């Protein structure tokens, strides 16, 4: 039985397995499109993570990048109670199957800090047990059929899990021993697609840590606010034309798009939007942290938006922020290590009776 961690982000799904496998794909599910046959005829179809077409519980879906490119109607799970949405189950099962060959697994996942207290128990119960059948029409597992049984499930708070991956490596050793003094405060800012989690933990005398609730929370700002700004700017500059996520990514990467042969420059909008978004995040954090942030031993930066916003947010915190290695996978790695610790503790308890 393998241990799997799945970070069901609003922007991307990240999964890591105890066997070393990992995957990342957009958190998008869409209806079956109509252009697959044409693409296949031209030999452009590849059975990889960018072309995932599945039948889940006898219904057909495109998942991830294929949904962004080909579906007429796509959905990101933005509801507060995501565990009630079938698309969450689809994304979870897809991720598990991409990183593990085992049909019986232990799964660890998480929730934003603001939702954790009220939803963790229900979310955990919703993922346990035998899942619907997944038939792979295309993608890495094309031609296969799987049915996953989630035997054990754990739900941890986002941000706090990323702190765990920042401070402790896969061998259980401290990455930053100079910060691990009893009473030290360590903060983490996790910039995601829709929200930004922030958490402060206090180091205990045994090297463990506990979150400080009054210094932790969630800000409703993230990468999506930058997307929205680009979307509205494009509409203004083209007389109302729409722009989907695929081309928004191009605009962010290149700083421009072409519309009817004319170059539409976005560099000025990208810069001002980043500054505005980060100012809102920094104001919220400084309002909560006040002068206590001056006494933090370290402030880490994680999440899918960390590299995108790092240069903008650093000056707000005196350039003290430490970007976590593999920052986009920080929560997933933390979930995996915490889940392993929970299972070991459970096993020891059962042995001791």
Of 146, 41, 59, 40, whose CA–CA distance to 51 is shortest? 40
Predicted confidence at residue 149, as pLDDT, reads 98
Q: Does residue 239 register a pLDDT over 90? A: no
Identify the bridge partners of residue 3 per DSSP, sorted by sequence position.
106
Q: Tens digits of per-residue pLDDT, 98-132?
A: 999 999 999 999 988 778 888 999 999 999 999 99
Mean pLDDT computed over 79-92:
82
User: Taking the CB of residue 84, how many other CB atoms lie within 10 A of it?
Assistant: 14
Q: Does residue 48 register a pLDDT over 50? A: yes
Q: Tens digits of per-residue pLDDT, 153-204?
A: 999 988 889 998 899 887 778 889 999 999 999 999 999 999 899 999 999 9
Of 65, 54, 121, whose CA–CA distance to 94 is shortest? 54
User: Taking the CB of residue 133, how many other CB atoms lie within 10 A of it?
Assistant: 14
* Strands of 134-205, DSSP E: 134-138, 145-146, 149-157, 185-191, 196-203
For residues 66 and 46, what is the distance between their CA atoms, to the nearest angstrom?
11
For residues 319 and 306, what is the distance between their CA atoms, to the nearest angstrom?
14
For residues 201 and 224, what is the distance between their CA atoms, to the nearest angstrom?
27
Q: Tens digits of per-residue pLDDT, 309-320?
A: 999 999 999 999
The two three-digit tokens of residue 305, written as one number: 């938006």
For residues 95 and 6, what is the distance between their CA atoms, to the nearest angstrom?
7
> Considering the entire predicted model, what is its pTM?
0.88
Rg, C-alpha atoms of the chain: 21
Q: Tens digits of per-residue pLDDT, 241-293?
A: 878 777 888 888 898 988 888 888 999 999 999 999 999 999 999 999 998 99
Task: Tell me the domains of the chain and their CATH numbers.
Answer: 2-155 (3.30.420.40), 158-353 (3.30.420.40)
The two three-digit tokens of residue 345, written as one number: 């503790």
Predicted confidence at residue 33, as pLDDT, reads 61
Q: Does residue 213 register a pLDDT over 80? A: yes
Predicted confidence at residue 174, as pLDDT, reads 87
Of 66, 38, 345, 313, whose CA–CA distance to 198 is shortest? 313
DSSP codes of every residue in 102-148 = -SEEEEEEEE-HHHHHHHHHHHHHHH-EEPPPEEEEESTTTT-EE--
Mean pLDDT computed over 40-69:
83
pLDDT confidence tier of residue 45, bands split at 50, 70 and 90: low
Predicted confidence at residue 34, as pLDDT, reads 55
User: Taking the CB of residue 345, how many other CB atoms lie within 10 A of it?
Assistant: 10
Predicted confidence at residue 42, as pLDDT, reads 47
Predicted confidence at residue 38, as pLDDT, reads 46
More confident residue, 70 or 55: 55
Given a contact cutoff of 8 angstroms between Cβ atoms, the answer to whether 328 and 26 are in contact is no
Q: Does residue 207 register a pLDDT over 90? A: no
Q: Tens digits of per-residue pLDDT, 9-23?
A: 989 999 999 999 999
Residue 259 burial (C-beta neighbours within 10 Å; 0-12, 13-18, 19+): middle
Average pLDDT, the chain: 89
The two three-digit tokens of residue 176, written as one number: 């930053």
């Amino acid at each position: 039985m393998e241990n799997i961690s799945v970070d069901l982000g609003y922007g991307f799904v990240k999964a890591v397995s105890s066997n070393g496998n990992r995957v990342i794909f957009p958190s998008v599910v869409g209806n079956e499109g109509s252009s697959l046959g044409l693409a296949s005829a031209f030999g452009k179809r590849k059975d990889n993570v960018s072309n995932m077409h599945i039948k889940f519980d006898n219904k057909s879906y495109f998942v991830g990048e294929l949904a962004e490119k080909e579906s007429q109607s796509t959905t990101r799970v933005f509801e507060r109670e995501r565990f009630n949405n079938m698309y969450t189950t689809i994304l979870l099962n897809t991720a598990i199957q991409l990183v593990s060959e085992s049909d019986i697994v232990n799964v660890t996942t998480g929730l934003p800090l603001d939702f954790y207290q009220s939803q963790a128990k229900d979310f955990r119960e919703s993922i346990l047990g035998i899942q619907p059948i997944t038939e792979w029409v295309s993608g890495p597992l094309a031609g296969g059929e799987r049915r996953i049984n989630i035997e054990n499930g754990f739900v941890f708070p986002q941000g706090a899990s990323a702190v765990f991956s920042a401070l402790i490596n896969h061998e259980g050793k401290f990455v930053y021993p100079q910060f691990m003094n009893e009473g030290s405060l360590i903060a983490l800012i996790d910039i995601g697609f829709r929200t930004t989690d922030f958490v402060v933990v206090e180091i205990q005398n045994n090297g463990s840590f506990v979150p400080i609730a009054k210094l932790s929370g969630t800000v409703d700002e993230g990468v999506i606010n930058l997307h929205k700004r680009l979307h509205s700017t494009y509409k203004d500059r083209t007389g109302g034309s729409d722009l989907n996520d695929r081309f928004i990514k191009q605009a962010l990467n290149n700083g421009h798009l072409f519309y009817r042969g004319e170059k539409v420059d976005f560099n000025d909008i990208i810069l001002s939007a980043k500054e505005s978004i980060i100012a809102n995040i920094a104001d919220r954090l400084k309002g909560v942290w006040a002068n206590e942030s001056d006494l933090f031993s370290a402030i880490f930066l994680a999440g899918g938006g960390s590299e995108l916003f790092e240069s903008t947010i650093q000056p707000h915190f005196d350039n003290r922020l430490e970007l976590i290695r593999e920052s986009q996978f920080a929560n997933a790695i933390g979930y995996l290590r915490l889940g392993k610790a929970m299972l070991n503790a459970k096993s020891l308890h059962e042995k001791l009776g």
